[in-house]
Amino acid sequence: MEPNNQSVQPFSSQQSPTYSPITLELVPRHLKMHYVNETELDAISSVANSMNMTFFGICSGAFISFGSVVWSGSLPDPNRYALFNMLTYGNGLLSVYFLIQGIREYLANNKRVKDIKQGRVVEISAKPPL
């Protein structure tokens, strides 16, 4: 290809824009389908694979641990007592939050699996429903 010797001029409002042709390229998609039995579908909707329930377990264990220190009365220092109190109640709130999110996730997964079993069209999004 030979270099073009025309000078490039800035676009002004009096000139009409030039359009270049658009090339449309279709890219083939590959779809893998797997046979899944009913037991495997039930396993998908179980609580065992929920990240929210994992964090619920961690936070509730921390709540019990920090709570046992606070409620045993073995902290004479008021700063440490305040710190452990804050950690206890903070982990308690996080436990409640992750429990609620875990239950919502479980119910949404059960509904999705029930719809699949009944043959309804299920739209699966990347984000879980809020």
Q: Are 108 and 101 in contact (CB under 8 A)?
A: no
How confident is the model over 81-124, as pLDDT tens digits? 999 999 999 999 999 999 999 999 888 888 888 888 888 876 76
Instruction: Find the helix packing angle between 51-72 and 78-117, rounded to 10°.
Output: 150
How confident is the model over 59-73, as pLDDT tens digits? 999 999 999 999 998
CA distances from residue 104 to 4, 56, 98, 109, 127 in whole angstroms, order as listed: 64, 13, 10, 9, 13
Q: Are 56 and 95 in contact (CB under 8 A)?
A: yes
Domain boundaries, the chain: 38-117
Match 């495997």 to its residue by tokens.
40
How confident is the model over 17-48, as pLDDT tens digits? 677 778 888 888 887 887 888 888 788 777 77
Mean pLDDT, the chain, integer = 82
Match 């279709």 to its residue by tokens.
26
What's the pTM? Answer: 0.64
Q: Are 61 and 33 in contact (CB under 8 A)?
A: no
